Structure 1
Amino acid sequence: MKVVNITFKFADGSPDETHPAVEGESVLDVALNNDIRLQHNCGGVCGCSTCHVYIEAGMDDLPEISDKEEDYIDRAVDPRINSRLGCQCVVQGNEDVVVTIPEQDFLGH
């Protein structure tokens, strides 16, 4: 079973955190399993934009973005070229992932 590290950076200035992730776990799963606050109003089924994150490294080893995910990212606050939904970023490769969690002072879509 492949294991990579996911480093979480926080827009609010909190210290970075790095946690292991096994193949098949999402960024959202790893965040929640390690008490990292990442909103997920839809329960992590690609039905909203609240688990919006920025992938700073490791994008090539994540699944390609789907049309549905892209539609929800368009509804997120301050979407960027490296925006993804944490629930859709499933570990599948060998490359470590670096994620920035933006400010979450909203309820989202």
Structure 2
Amino acid sequence: MKVVNITFKFADGTPDKIHTAVEGESVLDVALDNNIQLQHNCGGVCGCSTCHVYVEAGMDDLPEISDKEEDFIDRAVDPRLNSRLGCQCVIQGNEDIVVTIPEQDFLGH
């Protein structure tokens, strides 16, 4: 089973947190399992944009972005080229992942 580290960075200045993840887990799963606040209004089924994150490293070891995910990212606050939905960032490679969780002081889509 593949194991990687996920580094969570926070836009609000909270210190970085590093957690271990195994193949098949999503960034959202790891965040919630480790008491990291990451909104997920749809329950993690790619039905909203509230688990929006910026992938700073490890993008090549994540699944390709789907058209559905891309549509929801377009609705997120301040989308960027490295934007992904945490629920869709499923661990499948060996590269460590670094994500920044943007400010979450909104209701979301």
The TM-score bracket by the shorter chain reads over 0.9
Mind listing any 5+ residue stretches in structure 1 that lack a counterpart? Answer: none
Cα RMSD (Å) of the superposition?
0.2
* Identity rate, percent: 89
Tell me how far apart the structure 2 counterparts of residues 18 and 96 of structure 1 sit (CA, whole Å): 10
User: In the aligned structure 2, how far is the partner of 1:34 from the partner of 1:12?
Assistant: 18
**Aligned-pair distance for 1:6?**
0.2
Q: TM-score, normalised by structure 2?
A: 1.00
- 1:20 corresponding residue in structure 2: 20
1:45-68 deviation line (CA, Å, top 9, x unaligned): 000000000000000000000000
Report the Cα distance in structure 1 between the residues aligned to 2:17 and 2:2, rounded to whole angstroms. 20
TM-score (norm. length: structure 1): 1.00
Superposition misfits of 4+ residues, deviation over 4 angstroms:
none
User: Quick one: distance in 2 between partners of 1:107 and 1:65?
Assistant: 24
The C-alpha deviation readout for 1:19-77, integer Å capped at 9, x for no partner, is 00000000000000000000000000000000000000000000000000000000000
Tell me which residue corresponds to 1:79. Answer: 79
**d(CA) in 2 for partners of 1:15, 1:9:** 7
Correspondences of 1:20-99 after superposition (within 5 Å): 20-99=20-99
Aligned residues: 109
Residue identity opposite 2:12 in structure 1: D
Flag structure 2 segments of 5+ consecutive residues without an equivalent: none
